[in-house]
Amino acid sequence: MSNSIEIQKPQLPRFVNPIIGMYDVEVNFDGYKALNNINIDFSHKGVQFVIGPNGAGKTTILDAICGRVKTSKGKIVYKEEAEIQNRKPEEIVHLGISRKFQNPTIFNSQTVFENMKLALLTGKRNIWYLFRYKITGEQMDIIDETLSKLNLLEYKNTISGSLSHGQKQWLEIAMSIINDPELLLVDEPIAGMSPSERDRTGELLTSIGADHTVLVVEHDMKFVSNFSTSVTVMHEGRIIDRGSFDKIINNQQVIEIYLGRQN
């Protein structure tokens, strides 16, 4: 694949060698442009937030990157080597992009270990195969290591349905990173969490961001200010600004459209 991606309307300084580049991307829902000529890129590593008022297009950005919604225009380029717009979600996962959804999608009746095993074996479609499959020692180590990263190792044999809300979210994050994705997409990870669970989640995302790129949609400004390495601000399907938290909160347009509103 060619390395020369044509950038037609740069709005913001570009990164050298971004993990994701979006160029003139449009998502059109029956005539409504949920993404309207998006030109943005995201650098490797760190915890990069996408913020903006309700309906700004934040979830749609994640959906477009992971292949869950179709783009009607533009290019989404992964690691400057693969165009991924409108590819099948399973193909995109295979390239190293993992998505954690807002609502937990774990099997409540299964143990934490069983959920991790299923996540590890994703892509092997036959359900009978999945349940009968005996994992290797090496695979067990990967599960243990990942659970330990998310502070869940002691819950390995616990039925997942009995975990707290925060722990279920962390289990899902563990399941999302078990296949070692380069890019993790996370939508509103701290909704419904207690203050201490929020802080713990921020710390966990920060530690994941040391080795992976984490792209997080979030409303909670305190959380964004505490844990962001960069912030992208959206409004009505467009990018308004991108930079450090201190930079974006001093942007008058951002103050008007976002920070001034009651959350």
Ligand X SMILES: Nc1ncnc2c1ncn2[C@@H]1O[C@H](COP(=O)(O)OP(=O)(O)OP(=O)(O)O)[C@@H](O)[C@H]1O
Provide the binding-site residues for Mg ion, judged by CB under 5 A: 59
Please tell me whether residue 260 adopts helix, strand or coil conformation. coil
- Report residue 88: phi and psi, to 5°: -70, 140
Q: Which helix (H) or strand (E) holds 54?
A: none
- Tell me if 189 contacts ligand X by CB under 6 A: no
Shortest distance (Å) from residue 121 CB to ligand X: 30
Give which of ligand X, Mg ion, none residue 29 binds (C-beta under 5 to 8 Å, depending on kind).
ligand X
The stretch among 51-59, 140-148, 189-197, 255-263 that binds ligand X (CB under 6 A) is: 51-59
CB of 59 to Mg ion, least distance (A): 3
> For the CA atoms of 144, 177, 204, 234, what is the dihedral angle to 10 degrees?
-170
User: Shortest approach of ligand X to residue 58 CB, angstroms?
Assistant: 4
Q: How far is the CB of 69 from Mg ion (least distance, A)?
A: 12
CB of 64 to ligand X, least distance (A): 9
Task: Establish if 231 lies at the interface with ligand X (CB under 6 A).
Answer: no
Q: Which is nearer to ligand X, 27 or 97 (CB)?
A: 27
Q: How far is the CB of 205 from Mg ion (least distance, A)?
A: 17
Query: Rg for the chain (alpha carbons), in Å?
Result: 19
Candidate ranges 28-36, 41-49, 103-111, 172-180; the one touching ligand X (CB under 6 A):
28-36
Q: Are 152 and 127 in contact (CB under 8 A)?
A: no
- Asked if 240 and 234 touch (Cβ cutoff 8 Å), the reply is yes
Nearer to ligand X, 29 or 107 (CB): 29
Q: Return the one option of Mg ion, ligand X, none that residue 115 interacts with (CB less than 5 to 8 A, by type).
A: none
52 contacts 233 by C-beta, under 8 angstroms: yes
**Chosen from Mg ion, ligand X, none, partner binding at 55 (C-beta under 5 to 8 Å by type):** ligand X
Given a contact cutoff of 8 angstroms between Cβ atoms, the answer to whether 17 and 213 are in contact is no
Contacts (CB under 6 A) with ligand X, residues 53-112: 54-60
Q: Return the one option of ligand X, Mg ion, none that residue 56 interacts with (CB less than 5 to 8 A, by type).
A: ligand X
Token digits of residue 105:
């999608």
3 binds, among Mg ion, ligand X, none (CB under 5 to 8 A by kind): none
Binding site for ligand X (CB under 6 A): 29, 32, 34, 52, 54-60
